[in-house]
Structure 1
Amino acid sequence: MLRRILAVPAGLIAGIICITIVEKIGHSVYPPPAAAGNGDMEAMKEYIASAPFMALFFVIIAYALAALVSGFTASKVANNGKHTSAAVCGVIFLCITIYMMFSLPTPIWFWILGILTWGLVFVGSNIALRISKG
C-alpha cells in the first residue's frame, strides 16, 4: 500500500527533474530574455510569441522524456503490475501543461504535441512492467 502511495510523488519528482534538465539545455541554446527568467509573465509571453521553433520544441522534448521517466518510475515504485500510478502522473502533468498553454501564447502544433506527449507515460510504464516480469 505504501509503495502505491509513494509511486505518484516519485513519478512526479522524476518527471520534474527531466523537464528541468532539458529546459535548461534548451535555454542555454535559445536563451530567453532576462526578464522572462525572473518570473515576468509579460516578458515570457513576448518571448514565446517570437521564439524560434526549436526553442519551443525543447519543451516538447522535455515533456516527452518526463512522460517516459515519470511513467517508468511510478510503475516501478508501485510494483503492482498496473498502469494506475503512471496514469495519475500523466493526468497531473497534462493538467499543468494545459494550464501553461492557456497562460502563454503557444502555437497550435505545441498544443497538439503538448497534449499527446503525456500519453508516453504508458510507454514508460510498459517498459517498467516488462522489466519487472523479466
Structure 2
Amino acid sequence: MFRSILSVVGGAAIGVFTISLVQYMSHQLYPVPAHLNPNQGQAVASALENAPTAALLLVLFGFALGSFLAGMVAARYAHTRKVLHALLAGLLLMVAGIANLLALPHPLWFAVVSLLLYLPMAYFGGNMAARRMP
C-alpha cells in the first residue's frame, strides 16, 4: 500500500518538476513583460491573452511531457496495476492544472487542450513502463 502511494506521489512530483522546468525554459525564450505586476489580476489576464502562441504551445508541451514522465515513474515503481497508478499520477497533475486554470485566465483553446493532455499522456507513459524492460 505504501509503495503504491509513494509511486503515485513520486510520479506526480517528477511531473511537476518537468512541467516547471519546461515553463522556466518558456519564460527564458518568451519573457514576461517587465512592467507586469503579478498582484493585478487584470494585468496578468491581459499578458496571458497577448502571449505568443509559441509560448503557450511550449507550456502545453511541458504538460504533456510531465504527464508522460509522471505516468512512467508511477507505473515503474508500482507492484501491480501499473497503468492505474500512472493514471492516478496524471489525475493529480490534472487537478493541479485545473487549479491553475481557475487561478489565472487562459485562452479557451489552451484550457481545452491542456485538460485533454494529462490523462492520455500519463496512460501512454504508464503503458510504456508496464512493459518489461531489461
AA in 1 matched with 2:85: S
Aligned positions, number: 132
Query: Which runs of 5 or more residues in structure 1 are unaligned?
Result: none
Distance change (3 Å), C-alpha of 1:131 and 1:109: farther
Q: Who is 1:11 aligned against? A: 11
| CA distance, structure 2, for counterparts of residue 92 and residue 9 of structure 1 | 8
What is the one-letter code of the residue matched to 2:129? A
User: Going by fraction, where is helix more abundant, 1 or 2?
Assistant: 1
Give the counterpart letter for 1:107 in structure 2.
Answer: P
% identity of equivalent residues? 30
Runs of 4+ in structure 1 deviating by more than 6 angstroms, as ranges, are none
Q: TM-score, normalised by structure 1?
A: 0.87
Report which stretch shifted further, 105-114 or 77-86: 77-86
1:20 aligns with 2:33: no
Is the Cα–Cα contact under 8 Å of residues 10 and 77 in structure 1 kept in the other structure?
A: no
Distance 1:81 1:96 in 2: 23
- For structure 2, the 5+ residue unaligned runs are none
* Residue 40 (1) aligns with residue 39 (2): yes
Report the TM-score when normalising by structure 2. Answer: 0.87
Q: Deviations over 1:46-83 (max 9, x none)?
A: 21121110111111011000010000000111132432
Deviation track 1:11-68 (CA, whole Å, cap 9, x = no partner) reads: 11100110011111110110013465x7535243221121110111111011000010
- Alignment match, 1:116: 116
